[in-house]
Amino acid sequence: MSTPNTPPTSPILRITSRTAEVGGIPIHRLMPSRQRRMIGAWCFLDHAGPSTFEPGAGMRVGPHPHIGLQTFTWMIKGEVLHRDSLGNKQIIRPGQVNLMTAGHGIAHTEESLAQEDTLHATQLWIALPPPDSHCAPAFDHHPELPLWSLNGCQLTLLAGSYNGYTAPPKLYSPLVGIDLNSTAGSAMTLPLDSEFEYGVLTLEGQTIINGQAFAVDELAYLGLGLHEINLELAPGGSRAILLGGLPFSSDVLIWWNFVGHNKTDIARAQHDWETGSERFGTVHGYDGPPLTAPPLPPGWTI
Ligand code: MN
């Protein structure tokens, strides 16, 4: 049994974020980055907010398509309405997960509620492995997730299995996701699966991971082969998300809102979106125009 003072068990890669804007809300993007494209099948990681705004001036993301992935939204503060081309209309509130499986194709919108004045969330994408990358689209809302306390920290299991719990989101490859939230500070040793690779993104406050300090919007990539992690959350309100998974076995291409295993798949999806193909269906009830894809890179053709 080691203690929080144990020296680092392996070098930690410190990944810094780049800033962007999604639907009018500033975000910090951690993956994909030059330093790290994936953690298991987790292939995209945005930290949205924390952001405050005038009621009515919150996030608005118009109709846009996805293929080959699951979008995984973890809401920390604020409320967002999701609509999709399967006819789902679902508000996501703090402590809840929305999981949209794009598979062969789906379109959706996301918007802050009219009276809302805050947003703090993470949005992740999970790449679907080749046998499932063209599966039928689906949407699932998960209002309740396993949660427990450890050494002054509240842990919420977002995805996969851990500590005897299994989270409800349907996954297509071995993954785990855990939210760690502490107001008064906490130190713990968490067992890990040595076949998984792991990363920790600090969302609020400060964390110390195997003796190294990480600030908000720094992603610590821990790699493979670890049996445990020593994690401290600083007092005064610290929150982090632990992501892990079996290294993904195939190449993944990400272009705009598409994830594919070859350029042709992605070029076909873009063509189908631009020509209004029934593949992506129609999102009803959103007041605004659909999003336009940027031009494909040269040589990406059907
Ligand atoms: Mn989307």
User: Can the peptide bond before residue 65 be classed as cis, meaning omega within 30 degrees of 0?
Assistant: no
Sign of CA dihedral 264, 174, 145, 116: negative
Confidence (pLDDT) at 8 = 47
Give residue 153's pLDDT: 98
> What is the domain-level CATH number for residue 128?
2.60.120.10
Compute the distance from residue 198 Cα to the ligand 1 centre, in Å: 24
* 271, part of any domain: no
Residue 274 lies in a domain: no
CB under 8 Å to 232, separation ≥6 — which residues? 4, 185, 186, 187, 188, 207, 208, 209
Domain total in the chain:
1
- The residue ranges of the chain whose pLDDT is under 50 are 1-2, 7-8
For the record, the structure tokens of 274 come out as 């631009």
The pLDDT value given to residue 165: 98
Centre of ligand 1 to C-alpha 95, Å, is 20
CB 109 within 8 A of CB 83: yes
Strands 97-101, 69-77: pairing is: antiparallel
pLDDT of res. 218: 98
In a domain, residue 59? The reply is yes
Q: What is the pLDDT of residue 251?
A: 85
Please state the pTM of the whole predicted model. Answer: 0.95
Residue 286 lies in a domain: no
Residue 256 falls inside a structural domain: no
Centre of ligand 1 to C-alpha 239, Å, is: 24
Separation of CA 4 and ligand 1 centre (Å): 39
Distance 289 CA to ligand 1 centre (A): 15
pLDDT score for 5: 52
Task: For residue range 269-293, list pLDDT tens digits in order.
Answer: 999 999 999 999 999 999 999 999 9
Ligand 1 center to 109 CA (angstroms):
7
Q: Is 150 among the domain residues?
A: yes
In this prediction, residue 250 carries a pLDDT of 87
Omega before 50 cis (within 30°)? yes
CA of 108 to the centre of ligand 1 (A): 6
Q: How far is the CA of 181 from the centre of ligand 1 (A)?
A: 26
6 C-alpha to center of ligand 1: Å? 41
- Ligand 1 centroid from CA 298, angstroms: 24
Q: How far is the CA of 284 from the centre of ligand 1 (A)?
A: 15
CA of 290 to the centre of ligand 1 (A): 12
Is 28 domain-assigned?
A: yes
Cα–ligand 1 centroid distance for 15 (angstroms): 24
Q: Where in the sequence is the domain holding 110, given as residue range(s)?
A: 8-245
**CA 257 to ligand 1 center in whole angstroms:** 7
pLDDT digits (tens, 9 = 90+) for 154-182: 999 999 999 999 999 999 999 999 999 99
Does any domain span residue 29? Answer: yes
Determine the pLDDT at residue 92.
98
C-alpha 66 to ligand 1 mean position (Å): 7
